[in-house]
Structure 1
Amino acid sequence: MTWFILLSLVLFGAMLILVEVLFVPGTTIVGLIGVAFTALGIYYAFISFDRDTAFIILGAAVVVNLSFILYGFRSGAWERFALKDTISSRTYDDRLLGLEKGQKGKTLSDCKPFGKVEIGDKIYEAKSEGGFIPAGSEVYIVKIENNKIIIKQ
């Protein structure tokens, strides 16, 4: 019965460590519970058997746990959780195509300092350079920087 309890504790702890490495990496809770069960098994070995046998059990438990961890890393389980693709596009990259400095438009809303401006046949959000500009005013583009339209009356 002593061997059954000892093997149950150590193997259950080792299996929890394997589950942590293969199926739920990064949670740490399952792995810590596995280490706790393994430690309880080793403690039980030291109080139930002579010193030499307990150290053999300690060595075997360390070897089994380390082999499970190494197997987990070599099996490629971590590859499934890693992002391999990169996103190279940006939002609104070509939103301001066709606009240039000096182009005229009309404010659709008050610009205080941000507001809606109609330039050509499209509506844009713009920032006024000089403060408040009432709705319906004729404006022109002073500059375009960092994907923002700067206007002036």
Structure 2
Amino acid sequence: MLMWIIILALLMIGLGLIIVELVFIPGTTVVGLLGLIFTITGVVISYSHFGNDIGFYVLMGTMMATLVALFYSFRTGAWSRFSLKSSNTSKVNEDILVDLHIGDEGVTLSTLRPIGKAEFHERVFEVKTLGNYIEQGQRVKITQMYSNQIVVEPIN
């Protein structure tokens, strides 16, 4: 009885890992290989412990269960509730033209080498320089704005 529990556990874990591999993690990864190893181990144990006849029935049953489970998984969309359905379409500094203007002054919150963060009108923006290195805490002013990018230079 214990041997049947071990064989069934190996087969179920293997089948579960194979389905997870195919549905959630496409490609040949460790999860699919582990599922295959568990499944093969369960079949081999059934052959060695119960003989050829029972081993063959376990092999055929495992193959049928795998095909039915895969068919059910893909056909009914049982896994669709776990899949990502939305995407991020926002961009950095998407609304900069509303609040900022060329000549506005602010303070760098990080070192600009040449890209970093600066604060203008109590809001944080990603800014860049034209290759200059600007320390944190320095005053900067906006010299250019294009394609949602803010170009700054230090105020001396």
Band the TM-score falls in, shorter-chain normalisation: 0.5 to 0.7
1:14·1:68 contact (CA, 8 Å) conserved in 2?
no
1:37 is aligned to 42
| TM-fit CA distance, 1:10 | 4.8
| TM-fit CA distance, 1:85 | 1.5
Structure 2 residue runs without a partner (length 5+):
26-30
**What CA deviation, in whole Å up to 9, does each residue of 1:17-59 have, x standing for no partner?**
444337x9654445632332123213444xx34xxx3674243
2:28 is aligned to none
2:12 is aligned to 15
| Stretch moving more, 6-15 or 78-87 | 6-15
Calculate the aligned-residue CA RMSD, in Å.
4.5
1:81 is aligned to 82
Q: Which amino acid aligns with 2:41?
A: A
Q: Which amino acid aligns with 1:85?
A: S
**C-alpha separation in 2, matches of 1:25 and 1:124:** 37
**C-alpha separation in 2, matches of 1:84 and 1:99:** 34
| TM-fit CA distance, 1:93 | 0.7
Structure 1 residue runs without a partner (length 5+):
none
1:94 aligned to 2:95?
yes
**C-alpha separation in 1, matches of 2:130 and 2:106:** 13
1:42·1:54 contact (CA, 8 Å) conserved in 2?
yes
**C-alpha separation in 2, matches of 1:67 and 1:136:** 66
Q: Secondary structure at the match of 2:38?
A: helix
1:71 is aligned to 72
Q: 1:75 to 1:13 in 2, by over 3 A?
A: farther
Instruction: From the CA coordinates, give the structure whose radius of gyration is larger.
Output: 1
**C-alpha separation in 2, matches of 1:11 and 1:122:** 62
Aligned residue pair count? 137
| TM-fit CA distance, 1:94 | 0.4
**C-alpha separation in 1, matches of 2:60 and 2:74:** 21
Q: Secondary structure at the match of 1:92?
A: coil
**C-alpha separation in 1, matches of 2:133 and 2:14:** 64
Q: Secondary structure at the match of 2:90?
A: coil
Q: Secondary structure at the match of 2:85?
A: coil
Q: Secondary structure at the match of 1:104?
A: coil
**C-alpha separation in 2, matches of 1:13 and 1:70:** 21
**C-alpha separation in 1, matches of 2:43 and 2:73:** 18
